[in-house]
């Protein structure tokens, strides 16, 4: 009896450690699968975990073992996908026969694994709390294992083994449930903080820190792929007057609408950032200077045509000035690319605003 308890405790430690390691090295667990490849990988890994649990199982006889290999199948069904649950059950079933031989206990183990894998699928789709799904899944496990074990275990050890196993399953499933809940809360909090660290709080687009990171990676990709990368530096004209005349809420409204206009005027692959105050930077991916000028003009017109209304009912317009530079047409120096766009912006504002200017083309030696 002491040996059974000790071996089940080792099983539980392996299970918890595996979940913890997957959360560390596999970018979070549990994680709902979005494609077939992810489903297969998750199911395969869960199946491997079940195999490891079998290797460190409790030996009742030379062919009869007890362990927690069914818990990973339940986790796949409740947190990943039906396909993941089925794949894990299949992997565990094949290993049971390959490692322990084809016999009555192995066949019954395969039946149990497939019943749990298939049975937990409708449970996972219930419109209820995850805690209730865990309860229903564990009840299914206990019932199926008890019925099957009654046919293969000797009556002398059946009750003692089943009592220890059921108590162990309840305890470990309760622990795994709370552990996974903690991981989910932690991963969600981490994701939220990570998003906030690279997102402008007002407009929801990229901020200065994320823009710098994106700029270096985009420039590197443009060099490697022999593509163009254009930079659009944008400043809202007379933004201080908008705040002074209509209030800071009006200014916030302008910033949000300008950001939305960027999103509609640019490609999905372009990177739009608010780098502070009323200044924006747009990285136009795989876009030469000529096409960048078209984007800038479209953006300028869309912003100019929008009618704003203050809280007091006064209508007013908003315009922007834009500076453009392009790699490798205006410079092949990554640092100069931003500086050129900034200089072109200053030129646009100096020449009357509500316009765009671009850096001169790089002279090529003949």
**What gap in Å lies between CA 117 and CA 74, rounded to an integer?**
7
Check residue 128 and report its DSSP letter: S
How buried is residue 216: exposed, middle or buried, by Cβ count under 10 Å (0-12/13-18/19+)? exposed
DSSP result, 212-268: HHHHHHHHHHHHHHT--EEEEEEEETTHHHHHHHH-HHHHHHHHHHHHHHHHHHS-T
**Which one is catalytic: 237, 278, 286, 288?**
278
**What gap in Å lies between CA 93 and CA 106, rounded to an integer?**
8
Contacting residues for 292 by C-beta, under 8 A, at least 6 apart: 230, 232, 284, 324, 326, 358
**What gap in Å lies between CA 21 and CA 25, rounded to an integer?**
6
Give the distance, in angstroms, between the CA of residue 269 and the centroid of all CA atoms in the same chain: 18
- Active-site annotation holds for 278: yes
Check residue 199 and report its DSSP letter: B
Check residue 11 and report its DSSP letter: H
**What gap in Å lies between CA 102 and CA 299, rounded to an integer?**
70
Give the strands of the sheet with 320-327, arranged side by side.
Answer: 271-276, 279-285, 229-236, 320-327, 356-358
| Cα→Cα distances 161→44, 110, 166, 180, Å | 29, 19, 8, 28
DSSP result, 27-56: TSSS----SHHHHHHHHHHHHHHHHHHHHT
**What gap in Å lies between CA 50 and CA 68, rounded to an integer?**
8
Residues with catalytic function: 278
């Amino acid at each position: 009896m002491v040996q059974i308890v000790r071996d089940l405790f080792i099983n539980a430690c392996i299970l918890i450690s595996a979940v913890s390691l997957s959360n560390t090295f596999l970018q979070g667990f549990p994680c709902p699968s979005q494609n077939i490849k992810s489903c297969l990988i998750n199911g395969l890994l869960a199946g491997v975990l079940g195999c490891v649990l079998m290797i460190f199982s409790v030996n009742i006889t030379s062919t009869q073992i007890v362990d927690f290999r069914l818990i990973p199948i339940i986790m796949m069904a409740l947190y990943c996908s039906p396909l993941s649950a089925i794949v894990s059950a299949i992997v565990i079933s094949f290993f049971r026969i390959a490692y322990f031989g084809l016999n009555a206990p192995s066949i019954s183990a395969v039946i149990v694994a497939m019943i749990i894998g298939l049975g937990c699928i409708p449970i996972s789709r219930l419109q209820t709390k995850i805690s209730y799904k865990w309860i229903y899944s564990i009840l299914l496990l206990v019932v199926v294992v008890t019925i099957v074990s009654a046919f293969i275990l000797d009556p002398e050890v059946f009750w003692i083994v089943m009592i220890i196993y059921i108590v162990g399953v309840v305890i470990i499933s309760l622990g795994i449930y709370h552990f996974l809940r903690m991981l989910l809360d932690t991963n969600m909090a981490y994701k939220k903080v990570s998003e906030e660290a690279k997102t402008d709080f007002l407009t929801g687009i990229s901020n200065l820190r994320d823009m710098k990171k994106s700029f270096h990676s985009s420039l590197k990709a443009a060099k490697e792929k022999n593509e163009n990368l254009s930079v659009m530096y944008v400043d809202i004209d007379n933004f201080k007057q908008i705040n002074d005349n209509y209030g800071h809420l009006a200014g916030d409204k302008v910033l949000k609408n300008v950001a939305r206009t960027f999103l509609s005027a640019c490609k999905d692959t372009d990177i739009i950032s608010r780098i502070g105050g009323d200044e924006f930077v747009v990285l136009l991916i795989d876009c030469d200077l000529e096409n960048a000028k078209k984007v800038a003009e479209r953006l300028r017109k869309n912003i100019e045509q929008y009618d704003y209304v203050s809280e007091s009912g006064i209508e007013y317009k908003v315009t922007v000035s834009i500076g453009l530079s392009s790699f490798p047409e205006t410079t092949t120096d990554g640092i100069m690319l931003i500086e050129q766009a900034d200089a072109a912006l200053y030129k646009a504002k100096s020449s009357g605003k509500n316009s765009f200017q671009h850096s001169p083309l790089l002279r090529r030696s003949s």
